[in-house]
Amino acid sequence: MIGGGPGGYVCSIRLGQLKQKVICVEKEEVGGVCLNWGCVPSKALISASHTYEKVKDHGAGMGIFADNVRVDPNKMQDWKNGIVKKLTGGVRGLFRGNGVELVIGNATVKGPRTVEVKTAEGTVETIEATKAIVIATGSSTIEIPTFKFDGKSIIGAKEAVSLREVPKRLLVIGGGVIGLELGCVYQKFGAELTVVEATPSLLPGVDPECTAVVEKRLTKKGAKIIKNAKATGYERNADGSLAVKLDLGEGKYDTVVTDVVLVAVGMRPNGAGLGLEELGVKVERGFVPSDHLGRTNVDGIYAIGDVTGQPMLAHKASKEGEVVAEVIAGHKAAKDWVAIPAAIFTDPEIAVAGLTEAQAKEKGIEVRVGKFPFSALGRAMAVNETDGFFKVVADKKTNELLGVHIVGPEASDLISEGALALEMHAFLEDIGLTIHPHPTLGEGMMEAAMNGLGHAIHILNRNAG
Ligand code: NAI
């Protein structure tokens, strides 16, 4: 196994459970981007920023007055690092318990079953695999040549989750998932936020109605969102601040002064330079394509996770890891899921599974859409979070569910019901007939399905049919 991220470590553990002998080579720390500086650390900071804002700005409305609320970024970092340590330690424990050997070092593929590992101490070890090699090397932050990372004022996501000082002004290049999640964090902690996005919309590809809710909240709190714009370079001012130059297209330019620039323009796959091309493994712009069983074009070499292509999501990597482990052990398994859900931890959260309305229409499907706002849910009022809605997209002829799009509180947890419904080929009637406990946010899913059928109880069904 080359790579110990959420693809590689899950695949290793499952192989261990299946009594296969596994050596997992990881060049940094088990857990990969996800546990060390991606998914989990960012969610810790997001949750801290949410708590801070709730107490500071929303408490009074509930009758809670917290004077002298303040942020200690050092303490917060220590807390976050503690979570990372617990999780990576947990993975190491699961490796031991399942007989997986961990080797820390840099791996290169030297033959169809041969891997060479260079350790930090300079030793070189050759590993001969009897059955298979799995490539799970993930992806790396894309750097813009005119914004070279300096670890202080020009940073990527890795540094952004480790700041020990809240920037006064933060400019984010890229209005995608990372830019908006971390932008929301530092905005809540008091940074003046500017987001520069190259395309006409934030979070390209996400249902625009969902994105609009997040954008409205960001701008209401003072963020400046500049779309159709590219950051081309910067000059450093005498006081240390940065004057970032923007190309707004059609011959127009602008300059924004900031203290810190977060570059979040995507991730590139780590498939090149591993020795794969030399063995005839197809590597396309760094991606290592694999089929429904996780096989590359060369027998015995498998690939999973970010390195295989979009979507670059931890849970997709893990599921692919499980499938490949079964395949290597000789069991029947395949990447045959209906939908890969995605959760975006902005404020409010967005979570999606399956087709958007536009994607369904592009496929020539006539759709039925059901919606239900959080503002009509008693529980949403009780938790003081009423922005957003549930939206279900179904086939108009059969009422089979095609997609679920949620923007609002706890959307990231609520989407699992949508993903399950899609996997089970549920109809709107199935969701509408399922008793959802009251008072919960999940009732919105049931009501949205019923709205699609024309009879949601707690709103007027003006869009019915
Ligand atoms: P992204 O692809 O989500 O967003 C990058 C954004 O930058 C796009 O909107 C793009 O149009 C814009 N952009 C590109 N070049 C630009 C330029 N020169 N100037 C201005 N804007 C420009 O990539 P991001 O946010 O870096 O995330 C990387 C990956 O990590 C994604 O594949 C995402 O799925 C994954 N991720 C997932 C999370 C989650 O599931 N909650 C959290 C964070 C990351």
Residue located nearest, by CA, to atom 23 of ligand 1? 266
Question: Does residue 334 lie in a domain region?
Answer: no
Residue 437 predicted with pLDDT over 60: yes
**What residues are annotated to the active site?**
438
Q: Which of 265, 298, 315 is the last residue of a domain?
A: 265
Residues 134 and 274 in one domain: yes
144, burial (CB in 10 Å: exposed 0-12, middle 13-18, buried 19+): middle
Residue located nearest, by CA, to atom 34 of ligand 1? 312
- At residue 168, the 3 state secondary structure works out as coil
The pLDDT value given to residue 66? 87
Residues 14 and 137 in one domain: yes
Residues 256 and 296 in one domain: no
409, burial (CB in 10 Å: exposed 0-12, middle 13-18, buried 19+): buried
Question: Does residue 460 lie in a domain region?
Answer: no
The pLDDT value given to residue 465? 55
Q: Which of 329, 352, 372 is the last residue of a domain?
A: 329
Q: CA–CA separation, 142 vs 265, rounded Å?
A: 6
**What domain range includes position 28?**
6-141+268-329
Residue 431 near residue 402 (C-beta atoms within 8 A): no
Between the alpha carbon of residue 160 and those of residues 67, 142, 342, the distances in Å are 28, 14, 22
Q: CA–CA separation, 223 vs 217, rounded Å?
A: 9
The pLDDT value given to residue 120? 85
Residues 196 and 214 in one domain: yes
The pLDDT value given to residue 85? 98
Q: Which atom of ligand 1 is nearest to the CA of 141?
A: 26
> What's the pLDDT tens digit per position in 149-191?
999 999 999 999 999 999 999 999 999 999 999 999 999 999 9
Question: Does residue 464 lie in a domain region?
Answer: no
Q: Which of 265, 291, 310 is the last residue of a domain?
A: 265
> What's the pLDDT tens digit per position in 270-320?
999 999 999 999 999 999 999 999 999 999 999 999 999 999 999 999 999
Question: Does residue 146 lie in a domain region?
Answer: no
The pLDDT value given to residue 464? 61
138 is in an annotated binding site: yes
Residues 394 and 255 in one domain: no
Average pLDDT in the chain: 97
| Domains of the chain: total | 3
Question: Does residue 193 lie in a domain region?
Answer: yes
Instruction: Please choose from 144, 181, 267, 350 the residue to mutate so as to test ligand 1's pocket, defined by most ligand atoms within 8 A of CB.
Output: 267
Question: Does residue 458 lie in a domain region?
Answer: no
Residues contacting ligand 1 via CB (< 6 Å): 144, 173-179, 181, 196-199, 204, 230-231, 264-267, 311-313, 342-345
Question: Does residue 21 lie in a domain region?
Answer: yes
Residue 322 predicted with pLDDT over 90: yes
Instruction: Please choose from 141, 201, 265 the residue to mutate so as to test ligand 1's pocket, defined by most ligand atoms within 8 A of CB.
Output: 265
Residues 135 and 178 in one domain: no
Candidates 229, 267, 263; CA nearest to 246 is: 229
Between the alpha carbon of residue 370 and those of residues 354, 416, 419, 460, the distances in Å are 15, 18, 16, 12
340 is in an annotated binding site: no
Question: Does residue 220 lie in a domain region?
Answer: yes
**Furthest-apart CA atoms within the chain: distance in Å:** 70
> What's the pLDDT tens digit per position in 328-366?
999 999 999 999 999 999 999 999 999 999 999 999 999
- At residue 368, the 3 state secondary structure works out as strand
Residues 318 and 240 in one domain: no
Q: Which atom of ligand 1 is nearest to the CA of 314?
A: 40
DSSP code per residue over 44-83: HHHHHHHHHHIIIIIHHHHT---TT----HHHHHHHHHHH
Task: List the CATH number of the domain containing 376.
Answer: 3.30.390.30
Q: CA–CA separation, 392 vs 450, rounded Å?
A: 10
Task: List the CATH number of the domain containing 207.
Answer: 3.50.50.60
The C-alpha angle with vertex 67 and arms to 61 and 71, in degrees rounded to 5, equals: 105
**Residue predicted with more confidence, 464 or 289:** 289
203 is in an annotated binding site: no
Average confidence (pLDDT) over 227-246: 98
Residues 251 and 285 in one domain: no
Residue located nearest, by CA, to atom 12 of ligand 1? 174
Residues 358 and 318 in one domain: no
Residues 93 and 201 in one domain: no
Residue carrying structure tokens 């209906």: 338
DSSP summary character for residue 437:
P
The proportion of the chain whose per-residue pLDDT surpasses 70, expressed as a percent, equals 99
Q: CA–CA separation, 454 vs 3, rounded Å?
A: 50
Residues 84 and 132 in one domain: yes
Q: How far is the CA of 203 from the centre of ligand 1 (A)?
A: 8
Confidence class for position 67, pLDDT limits 50, 70, 90: confident
Residues 281 and 237 in one domain: no
